[in-house]
């Protein structure tokens, strides 16, 4: 009696041990598989593969982030320029820094011999994710008349962004494990520069100031309504360059600036035919619609006074950014650079464009606060320090992870059942033919 109890207990303990061992083994295997899959998605170059008809160079993200903020002990010459007194000189200095060594390699930054530039990972999972030739992601399309008076159809805009070493150091700290981001305490060091090129589907006929602009082939969407349905390569033209600079002297710790390609610029080098459009160091928290109507204008944005003359500000737009704040022609005029970027946080909510602009303008002022780096937009949120690529890649990571786990959960349960089930699932051999 006793011995049969004991032997049963021993058998059960043995079986439990086997089950625990099998489960642990499977868990390890699933963790390994998850990490390998995440690594693949982290560095996936594009949403759609290069089209069969295209045999030129393709986009390769640079993701080998530096392990310290300023590995080459670079100087940042714009930090010695007073951006309020000399906005154009500040912008030109940053522009030169961004173009140096990059024009020669057509912005395949991994080939830049002057300095290091990097991309942000996880930008290819979403249907608006990177196209395969230049790594551009889909931006807001421009409705008829938004870019120029002669633009008679809606056109797509696509963009790609780069961070210098200090910026890439901060990005790399978030993604030191490609399968598990660290989002606490994101802080870009002073000296960080990010820049972003916008290419538009609009032609020179539609937007005359684009004449002679650099052209990039890009395998973009067939229509703006279906971002994931990609077509053969088409010509896209340089229209806008955005820069974001971490600078302690700004009320928000960042200076935002934008340039527009303009055929009237005399430079022989097409990439340099850029007009500085605006520079912003704060959100002008007190500028309400009422005050604007009474004649008040932003005091934390510098706007190039020639925008209407140059045709950069189309007749159908009252201003580039809300009430004259900074923005580019491809951006939404109900927002501005600093406002939209101040929402960068986790959880990433669909809250980038101010709500209540108009009719309830006071409610909209929440979007025009001067938040310091590290201060989250929403109560209880975690700041991503004005980096919207960091919030975009976090969202893509979260969505990817959710669907990966959902897809593998059923498979995993079945495997576990088959491997740990104590009974054979098929009938035992009858012995007849043994």
Q: Report the nearest approach of ligand HEC to the CB of residue 324 (Å).
A: 13
**DSSP H or E run through 1:** none
Q: Report the nearest approach of ligand HEC to the CB of residue 142 (Å).
A: 13
326 or 423: CB nearest ligand HEC: 326
SS3 category, 379: coil
Q: Report the nearest approach of ligand HEC to the CB of residue 386 (Å).
A: 6
Q: Report the nearest approach of ligand HEC to the CB of residue 54 (Å).
A: 22
Q: Report the nearest approach of ligand HEC to the CB of residue 216 (Å).
A: 16
16 or 366: CB nearest ligand HEC: 366
124 or 148: CB nearest ligand HEC: 124
Residues near 202 by beta carbon (within 8 Å), at least 6 away in sequence: 142, 147, 148, 151, 155, 210, 237, 239
Angle CA(213)–CA(146)–CA(311) in degrees, nearest 5?
Answer: 55
161 or 210: CB nearest ligand HEC: 161
250 or 414: CB nearest ligand HEC: 250
Q: Report the nearest approach of ligand HEC to the CB of residue 26 (Å).
A: 38
SS (H, E, C) 177-225: CCCCCCCCCCCCCCCCEEEEEEEECCCCCCCHHHCCCCEEEECCECCCC
Q: Report the nearest approach of ligand HEC to the CB of residue 78 (Å).
A: 14
Q: How far apart are CA 66 and CA 44, in angstroms?
A: 20
Q: What share of the chain is helix, strand, coil (3-state, %, to 5)?
A: 30, 15, 55
159 or 346: CB nearest ligand HEC: 159
Contact between 185 and 240 (Cβ < 8 Å): no
Q: Which residues pair with 237 in a beta bridge?
A: 200, 215
Q: How far apart are CA 359 and CA 353, in angstroms?
A: 14
Footprint on this chain of ligand HEC (rule: CB under 6 A): 137, 159, 161, 194-196, 242-244, 256-258, 326-328, 331-332, 335-337, 340-341, 352-353, 387-389, 392
Q: Which residues pair with 242 in a beta bridge?
A: 196, 258
- Tokens 């790399």 -> residue: 172
Residues near 268 by beta carbon (within 8 Å), at least 6 away in sequence: none
Phi-psi region of 193 (alpha: psi -120 to 50; beta: other; left: phi over 0): beta
399 or 407: CB nearest ligand HEC: 399
55 or 350: CB nearest ligand HEC: 350
Q: How far apart are CA 323 and CA 3, in angstroms?
A: 88
Q: Report the nearest approach of ligand HEC to the CB of residue 163 (Å).
A: 7
**Is the omega angle on the peptide bond into residue 359 within 30 degrees of 0, that is, cis?**
yes
Residues near 320 by beta carbon (within 8 Å), at least 6 away in sequence: 277, 278, 303, 307, 313, 326, 327, 328, 329, 331, 333
Question: What does the block give as tokens for 352?
Answer: 């980038």
Q: Report the nearest approach of ligand HEC to the CB of residue 135 (Å).
A: 10
SS3 category, 157: strand
Q: Report the nearest approach of ligand HEC to the CB of residue 387 (Å).
A: 4
307 or 340: CB nearest ligand HEC: 340
243 or 346: CB nearest ligand HEC: 243
242 or 247: CB nearest ligand HEC: 242
Q: Report the nearest approach of ligand HEC to the CB of residue 53 (Å).
A: 26
- Tokens 């009320």 -> residue: 251
């Amino acid at each position: 009696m006793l011995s049969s109890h004991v032997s049963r207990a021993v058998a059960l303990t043995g079986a439990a041990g086997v089950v625990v061992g099998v489960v642990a083994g499977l868990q390890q295997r699933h963790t390994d598989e998850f990490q390998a899959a995440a690594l693949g998605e982290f560095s996936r170059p594009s949403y759609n593969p290069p089209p069969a008809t295209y045999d030129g160079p393709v986009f390769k993200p640079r993701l080998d982030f530096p392990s310290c903020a300023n590995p080459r002990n670079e100087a940042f010459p714009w930090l010695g320029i007073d951006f309020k007194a000399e906005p154009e000189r500040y912008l030109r200095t940053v522009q030169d820094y961004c173009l140096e060594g990059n024009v020669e390699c057509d912005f395949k930054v991994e080939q830049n011999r002057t300095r290091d530039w990097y991309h942000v990972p996880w930008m290819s999972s979403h249907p608006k994710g990177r196209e395969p030739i230049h790594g551009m992601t889909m931006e807001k399309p421009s409705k008829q008349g938004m870019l120029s008076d002669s633009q008679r159809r809606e056109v797509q805009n696509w963009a790609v962004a780069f961070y210098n070493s200090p910026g890439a150091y901060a990005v790399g700290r978030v993604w030191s494990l490609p399968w598990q981001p660290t989002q606490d305490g994101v802080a870009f060091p002073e000296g960080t520069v990010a820049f972003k090129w916008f290419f538009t589907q609009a032609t020179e006929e539609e937007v005359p100031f684009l004449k002679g602009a650099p052209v990039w082939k890009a395998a973009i969407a067939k229509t703006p309504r279906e971002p994931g349905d990609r077509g053969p390569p088409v010509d896209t033209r340089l229209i806008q360059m955005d820069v974001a600079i971490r600078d302690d002297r700004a009320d928000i710790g960042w200076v935002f600036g934008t340039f527009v390609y303009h055929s009237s610029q005399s430079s022989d080098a097409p990439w340099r035919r850029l007009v500085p459009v605006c520079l912003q160091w704060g959100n002008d928290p007190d500028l309400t619609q009422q005050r604007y109507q009474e004649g008040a204008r932003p005091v934390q944005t510098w706007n190039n006074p020639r925008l209407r003359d140059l045709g950069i500000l189309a007749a159908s737009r009252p201003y580039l950014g809300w009430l004259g704040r900074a923005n580019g022609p491809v951006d939404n005029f109900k927002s501005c650079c600093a406002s939209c970027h101040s929402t960068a946080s986790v959880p990433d909510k669909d809250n980038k464009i101010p709500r209540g602009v108009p009719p309830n303008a006071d409610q909209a002022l929440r979007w025009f606060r001067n938040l310091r780096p590290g201060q989250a937009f929403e109560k209880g949120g975690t700041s991503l320090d004005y980096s919207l690529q960091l919030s975009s890649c976090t969202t893509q990571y979260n969505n990817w992870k959710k669907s990966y786990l959902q897809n593998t959960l059923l498979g995993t349960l079945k495997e576990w059942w088959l491997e740990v089930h104590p009974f054979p699932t098929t009938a035992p051999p009858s012995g007849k033919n043994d």
